[in-house]
Amino acid sequence: MKKAVHFGAGNIGRGFIGLLLSQAGYHVTFVDVAAPLVDDINALGKYNVQIFGESEKTLVENVSAINSDVNLDALLDAIAEADIVTTAIGPNILKFIAPNIAKGLTKRVAVNDTPLNIIACENMVGGSTVLKGFVYQHLADDVKPAVDKLIGFPDAAVDRIVPLQKNYEKLLVKVEPYAEWDVDSKGVVGELPAIKGMTLVDNLGAYIERKLFTVNTGHASIAYLAYQKGLPDISSAMRDEDIVAAARAVWNETSALLIDKYDFDPIVHQKYVMTTETRFKNPEISDEVTRVARGPKRKLSAGDRLVSPATQLIEGGRKPVALAKVIAAALKFDYAEDKEAAEVQDFIKANGIDAAITHFTGVTPYSKLFALIKANF
């Protein structure tokens, strides 16, 4: 049986990537540091995935788990023998798994000359490339040529909403019907076996930005605007006419950018936007506003979902009024239990909003975009 190693045994790992790998005939070994979760997976050896609103469940079998904190040797063996390695752990955690992946690859290339692809399935641009950079920091120079030859790090775009949930059935994951997993064919080493639900594409950048500037930009926009109104979750926000109108205005701006940049069919793209809006209106997959808005430092950074499209629109001679309003709302996000939000608010109090705009967004002081953001603060 083919073998997959997947870092991250949480709901997204089990309910999305792990599910597709299992259905494609892989034994999936989940890697995590949450001991109770690892123990449950090993005790049961299976779990169910259920589409929200449907009664039927999909049984996922041939799964096991490794606690990388206590069983490193087993993890290194698994990497050495794997046919594919994937992650769904969060962008900020990639650097922490890199040392163990480097050890596993060092062991692998000494005994196994079969190509292997490592795919970071994260909410970020160039996740696998970023992971590769972290991994190479921990590789000895004499190992790097073999890794260069045998190990691929193809980037990917992934999209499936898996909200926080409490289920009585152990390991059950409830997911939305929609799922998208696109992988850059140019980054693949050797041949990547066909996996139903995964699409190999040769223009991944377009798909990543389409998803980032539609789904992630939209989700964040709704969350930050909803927080200002004291609304608890995305479903509630999508019943507020003002917030829906603001989200549509953001989508109008990002759609104009994407259609011009990638020559997307306007009708097809508008359908994609409408599908995204429908997903956000689904009460079954609604998430807490504070959870969607969390981590404002990353979401406000120059290359992420808010500032990047706004900057590109400015460069193209357009005025991103709706995006600027959202960026200002993100700078106002003061949820006390969010560490990054507290950092942003402390910086604003200490240095003022002018310094904060440039510090967190990288936007040039007193530029057109700077002025638009400040006018909405």
Residue 181 dihedral angles phi and psi, to the nearest 5°: -140, 105
Question: How far is C-alpha 73 from the chain's CA centre?
Answer: 29
Q: Where in the chain is the domain with CATH 1.10.1040.10?
A: 205-375
Q: Is the pLDDT of residue 124 over 90?
A: no
Q: Is the pLDDT of residue 192 over 90?
A: no
At 42 the pLDDT is 98
Residue pair 299/329 in contact (Cβ under 8 Å)? The answer is no
- Name the band, by pLDDT with cuts 50, 70 and 90, for residue 166: confident
CATH 1.10.1040.10 fits 205-375, yes or no: yes
DSSP 180: E
Mean pLDDT over 344-373 rounds to 97
At 264 the pLDDT is 95
**Cα–Cα distance for residue pair 330/346, rounded to 1 Å:** 14
Start-end of H helices in the chain: 11-12, 18-23, 35-44, 72-81, 94-111, 127-136, 144-150, 204-211, 217-229, 234-237, 241-262, 266-281, 289-292, 296-299, 307-315, 321-332, 339-351, 353-361, 368-375
Question: What is the pLDDT of the chain when averaged over all its residues?
Answer: 96
For 258-299, the DSSP string reads HHHHH---HHHHHHHHHHHHHHHH-GGG--BHHHHS--HHHH
- Residue 73 carries which side chain, given as an amino acid letter? D
First to last CA, the chain: 57
What pTM did the predictor assign? 0.82
Residue 365 tokens, joined? 């002081």
Mean pLDDT over 194-220 rounds to 93
**Cα–Cα distance for residue pair 147/106, rounded to 1 Å:** 8
Q: Where in the chain is the domain with CATH 3.40.50.720?
A: 2-201
At 164 the pLDDT is 78
At 41 the pLDDT is 98
- Name the band, by pLDDT with cuts 50, 70 and 90, for residue 353: very high
pLDDT digits (tens, 9 = 90+) for 223-255: 999 999 999 999 999 999 999 999 999 999 999
Q: Which CATH number fits domain 2-201: 3.40.50.720, 3.40.50.300, 3.60.15.10, 3.90.1150.10?
A: 3.40.50.720
**Cα–Cα distance for residue pair 351/290, rounded to 1 Å:** 25
Query: Which of 49-53, 99-103, 162-166, 270-274 comes out lowest in average pLDDT?
Result: 162-166
Residues near 130 by beta carbon (within 8 Å), at least 6 away in sequence: 91, 94, 120, 124
Q: Is the pLDDT of residue 162 over 90?
A: no
At 163 the pLDDT is 78
By residue count, the chain amounts to 377
